[in-house]
Amino acid sequence: MTKWNKHSISYLHDALVKKQVTPLELVEDCIKGIQADDCNSFEALAFEEARKAAEQIGEIKEDEYLKGIPFLAKDNYSTKGIETTASSNILNGYVPLFDATAISKLKRAGMIMVAKTTMDELAMGGTGTSGHKGPTLNPYDHERIVGGSSCGSASSTALGIAPLALGSDTGDSVRKPASYSATVGFKPTWGRISRFGLFPFAPSLDTIAYFTRNVLDASYVLTALAGKDSKDMSSSSRKKEHYQDYVINKRSLKKIGYFKAVNDAIEDERLKSKYHELLDKLKDHGYEVVCYEYPVDLLNALYPTYMIISCAESTSNNANLDGIRFGPIAEGNPKTYEEYMKACRTKGFSDLIKRRFVIGSFSLLSQNQFEMFSRAQKARRLIVDNMNKFFDGLDYLILPASYSKPKKIKELSTAWSTKPDFLDNILGLGNFGGFPSITLPLMFEDGLPFGINITGRTFEDGYVLGMAKEIEEITGLKDLVKGDK
Ligand code: GLN
């Protein structure tokens, strides 16, 4: 257990300003935590770079909230001079020449990156078991998944190794693992943070997202990361705000909705009663809570729509991984470019990735495009239109972030699910519409965590954080670290 970094950003900031600790001591403490990790959370380590950066940090002022504090980043962020593989064999040995904008903004704010974290290969998948380093374990139960794709960032935050770990969220890859690890997982509005240097999976859904251990910390990080970036045309030029003000002053809107179909489908009675207990307490706090009938056929369309759109975008974006610019040397002496590429890709990708590229290529074939890709785009439009209708009258959608305990690793199956379950895919709503969405701890059942998720209107990130703060105070579950008694 690390001594310092199990604390929040705001706690560490205070200690740094008061000179009770130095940035170098925080880095050394973080390194010890990484060395003691028993969940398989790490890819490349940047210990020497981190020590050097820490030594260069001078005076820390009251309003330099992030300065001198260590952080971790998922292995799909470009990091200058540090191997970046997206946990894929095809990128083994790849060392980027530049930092992703999110990384350089955190560094500019004075934060220190200490290591890269494991992930599902190329950010596809939700189990945290498909990366080239093998499964990442749940700190609360090593036999279970911590969820993915941002698995190493979730486990390291839960273990108290650093108070911030960057992840990425295309369908739920930060918000679901946050639920399984009793951490806060925040996916801000699409376009609020530049994606430059984040390896693209499905750019119309991909969002920079991250793990912290409380809501206030999540707000400080957004203040540092938000803003227009000339290197990412999809980044928004809307004025950025001081998001921490919403948390400190608990600024929130008043109308909460939940979906009838989701509520009816919850099988876990303890979860259901805890969920309603929370909604009742919110009513006592003066919020209006409404049961909303979102169309069930659109909920059932979430999974197929997500699969077609994300696989199509991913097939096209990852076409550069051809084994020539990156990747293992082909075996069997291939003669043509095509043969070479086939040999490298066969060796470089896991089965999950190959399956998704097949789906993506199939849906993009000119004879299938209309039936598959265009129809998926139309379904997405309907799904988002209906969410916007919801937001015409209501300010927040509040739902459980996971509906069962994290699965046991040995019980995972790669078989195609014949009965897609909308509960499993519900967080994808946030990505379809680019809505800001946050998961925070709700309860524990038999020692395993479950989270609650709040989604709001686009660019109302501040109000989503304000609401999250309200809930954090109700549950009292904050700054949780596994093993901390
Ligand atoms: N579990 C989803 C998938 O498999 C989400 C992935 C993500 O958000 N990166 O695609």
Asked if residue 207 has its Cβ within 6 Å of ligand 1, the reply is no
29 CA distance to ligand 1 centroid (A)? 32
Beta strands in 312-401 (DSSP E): 396-400
Asked if residues 242 and 382 have their Cβ atoms less than 8 Å apart, the reply is no
Give alpha helix (H) positions in 18-134: 23-36, 47-55, 101-108
Give every strand in the sheet of 396-400, ordered side by side. 42-45, 112-117, 70-74, 165-169, 207-212, 184-187, 437-445, 448-455, 396-400, 255-259, 288-292
Q: Which of 86-90, 216-220, 333-337 has the lowest mean pLDDT?
A: 333-337
Tell the residue number behind the tokens 């059932």, with chain if given: 300
Residues 430-455, mean pLDDT to the nearest whole number: 98
Position 406 pLDDT exceeds 80? yes
Position 391 pLDDT exceeds 80? yes
Return mean pLDDT, the chain.
96
Of the pLDDT bands very low, low, confident and very high (cuts 50, 70, 90), residue 224 is very high
Predicted local confidence at residue 414, as pLDDT: 78
Residues 150-170, mean pLDDT to the nearest whole number: 98
Could you please report the per-residue DSSP string of 7-41?
S-HHHHHHHHHTTSS-HHHHHHHHHHHHHH--S--
63 CA distance to ligand 1 centroid (A)? 36
Residues 297-318, mean pLDDT to the nearest whole number: 97
Could you please report the per-residue DSSP string of 291-336?
EE---HHHHHTHHHHHHHHHHHHHHHHGGG-SSSSSSPPPSS---S
Residues 350-363, mean pLDDT to the nearest whole number: 95
pTM summary value: 0.98
Shortest-distance atom of ligand 1 to CA 168? 9
Closest CA to 439 of 176, 49, 124: 176
Calpha distance 168→177 (Å, rounded): 11
Predicted local confidence at residue 90, as pLDDT: 94
Asked if residues 164 and 210 have their Cβ atoms less than 8 Å apart, the reply is yes
420 CA distance to ligand 1 centroid (A)? 15
Q: Strand pairing partners for 259?
A: 292
Calpha distance 349→242 (Å, rounded): 42
Identify whether 74 is a catalytic site residue. Answer: yes
Q: Strand pairing partners for 408?
A: 144
Of the pLDDT bands very low, low, confident and very high (cuts 50, 70, 90), residue 421 is confident
Percent of the chain whose predicted confidence (pLDDT) is above 70:
99
pLDDT tens digits for 123-139? 999 999 999 999 999 99
Residues 264-282, mean pLDDT to the nearest whole number: 97
Q: Which two tokens stand for residue 128?
A: 């945290």
Asked if residue 124 has its Cβ within 6 Å of ligand 1, the reply is yes
Q: Which two tokens stand for residue 186?
A: 């925040």
* Residues contacting residue 9 through CB under 8 Å, at least 6 positions apart: 65, 66, 69, 163, 164, 212, 216, 217, 220, 221
Calpha distance 431→121 (Å, rounded): 20
Predicted local confidence at residue 347, as pLDDT: 87
Asked if residues 195 and 235 have their Cβ atoms less than 8 Å apart, the reply is yes
Q: How many CB atoms lie within 10 A of CB 184?
A: 30
**Strand 437-445, strand 448-455: pairing:** antiparallel
CA angle (66, 67, 71) in 5-degree steps: 65
Pocket test for ligand 1, best of 122, 170, 206 (most atoms within 8 A of CB): 170
Of the pLDDT bands very low, low, confident and very high (cuts 50, 70, 90), residue 1 is low
Domains of the chain: 9-255+402-475 (3.90.1300.10)
Asked if residue 199 has its Cβ within 6 Å of ligand 1, the reply is no
Predicted local confidence at residue 331, as pLDDT: 83
Position 3 pLDDT exceeds 90? no
Q: Which of 46-55, 321-330, 444-453 has the lowest mean pLDDT?
A: 321-330
Calpha distance 199→101 (Å, rounded): 12
Asked if residue 232 has its Cβ within 6 Å of ligand 1, the reply is no
Position 485 pLDDT exceeds 70? no
Q: Strand pairing partners for 451?
A: 441
Q: Which residue has better confidence, 69 or 483?
A: 69
Residues 204-232, mean pLDDT to the nearest whole number: 98
Position 420 pLDDT exceeds 70? no
Asked if residues 66 and 163 have their Cβ atoms less than 8 Å apart, the reply is no
Position 401 pLDDT exceeds 70? yes
pLDDT tens digits for 144-158? 999 999 999 999 999
Predicted local confidence at residue 328, as pLDDT: 76
| Active-site option among 67, 74, 176, 187 | 74
Calpha distance 479→54 (Å, rounded): 24
Predicted local confidence at residue 324, as pLDDT: 84
Of the pLDDT bands very low, low, confident and very high (cuts 50, 70, 90), residue 264 is very high
Of the pLDDT bands very low, low, confident and very high (cuts 50, 70, 90), residue 323 is confident
Calpha distance 115→137 (Å, rounded): 18
Identify whether 281 is a catalytic site residue. Answer: no
Q: Which of 109-118, 319-328, 344-353 has the lowest mean pLDDT?
A: 319-328
408: DSSP letter: B
Phi, psi of 132 (to 5 degrees): -70, -10
